[in-house]
Amino acid sequence: MHVRPVRIGLATMEGRQECLHATLSTLVTQGAAIFVYLNEVRKPSWARDFPSVTWTEGVDLGDAGKFHFAKSFSGVYLTCDDDILYPPDHVEILARFVAETPRAAYSWHGSNLRSCFTHYYAQQSREVFPYYGEVPSLTRVDVLGTGAAAFDSTVLNRAPSLARRRGVVDIAVSIALKRDGIFRFVIPHAAGRMRPVPGWERRESISSSSRRADGSRMDLAVAATQLIYEHGPWLCGDLPPAPGSSETRHTHP
């Protein structure tokens, strides 16, 4: 039983109903109130399988929709993705971390920028601490992965408005937290405790499109990279000059 209220926010879109069903099946027994934001899609017919879940239809906010339910909430706020299978103690673990240090944010996934940074989705530009792989110790990170994250509601006062930067929510929220002096951490975990829903690699995603720089609606490589350059320095210090620029750009100490 959680001492403080715990709320989970998710967002989903067209074509991901099967993934979402699998994800919810791993969360509904964990004692948190679950809210799902439907990005210009109708509530699925199988929603009756999850009578405790609250569904909200709205305009397309993309992945930022998972923060829609943080408004006016007091407690521990978790954000999840619609294509991950969460371990049975997911909520308990994150709620405990937040209770111990409320002025921090936690996730099973995150990344640190490298001093050789050129492009947010370039492999050499970041050290990634993945939710599906082993992370042996609590690790401070630059960018928190909001697909498996937890926050004390008091630290989200500014983050939800920045989270409306559709598709770059991890970066936008991390910038807001960084600006407010909130450290971000990836929690220690063994490999395989959290897994993607089978078949995830066949589905279109922001990450896959941006890595390919395919120019589609899901390709946000340029926007993500620009945000990183504009809001340094990061843990590695000042970044090298942005491509096409004569000097490193940053606006906040």
Averaged pLDDT score across all residues of the chain: 87
Q: According to the model, what pLDDT value does residue 32 have?
A: 97
Q: Convert 53-64 to b/e letters by CB count within 10 Å (16 or more is b).
A: beeeeeeebbbb
- Residue 205 CB neighbours (<10 A): 15
| Alpha-carbon span 113 to 126, nearest angstrom | 4
Higher-confidence position of 124 and 194: 194
Residue 253 binned pLDDT confidence (cut-offs 50, 70, 90): very low
Distance CA 73, CA 54 (A): 15
Portion of the chain with pLDDT greater than 90, in percent: 64
Confidence of residue 19 (pLDDT cuts 50, 70, 90): very high
* pLDDT greater at residue 212 or residue 108: 108
Is it the case that residue 228 has pLDDT exceeding 90?
yes
- The encoded tokens of residue 18 equal 């099967």
pLDDT given for residue 240 in this prediction: 75
Which pLDDT score, from 0 to 100, does residue 202 have? 58
Q: Which amino acid does the sequence have at 15?
A: G
Instruction: Identify the pLDDT of residue 65.
Output: 92
The per-residue pLDDT for 27 is 98
Closest CA to 110 of 91, 88, 133: 133
Q: Is the pLDDT of residue 251 over 50?
A: no
Percentage with pLDDT > 70 across the chain? 82
Tokens of 59: 């305009």
Residue 189: the pLDDT is 98
Predicted TM-score of the model (pTM): 0.89
Q: Return the pLDDT at 247.
A: 44
Asked whether residue 252 carries a pLDDT value surpassing 50, the answer given is no
Q: Is the backbone of residue 136 left (phi > 0), alpha (psi -120 to 50) or beta?
A: alpha
pLDDT digit string, tens, across residues 57-70: 999 988 899 999 99
Say yes or no to pLDDT of 250 above 50: no
Q: How many CB atoms lie within 10 A of CB 140?
A: 12
- Ordered domains of the chain (ranges, CATH): 6-230 (3.90.550.10)
123-129 average pLDDT score = 93
Count of Cβ atoms closer than 10 Å to residue 3 Cβ: 10
Residues 139-155: pLDDT tens digits?
999 999 999 999 999 99
> What whole-number distance in Å separates Cα of residue 149 and Cα of residue 79?
5
pLDDT at residue 17 tops 70: yes
Q: What is the mean pLDDT of residues 156-169?
A: 66
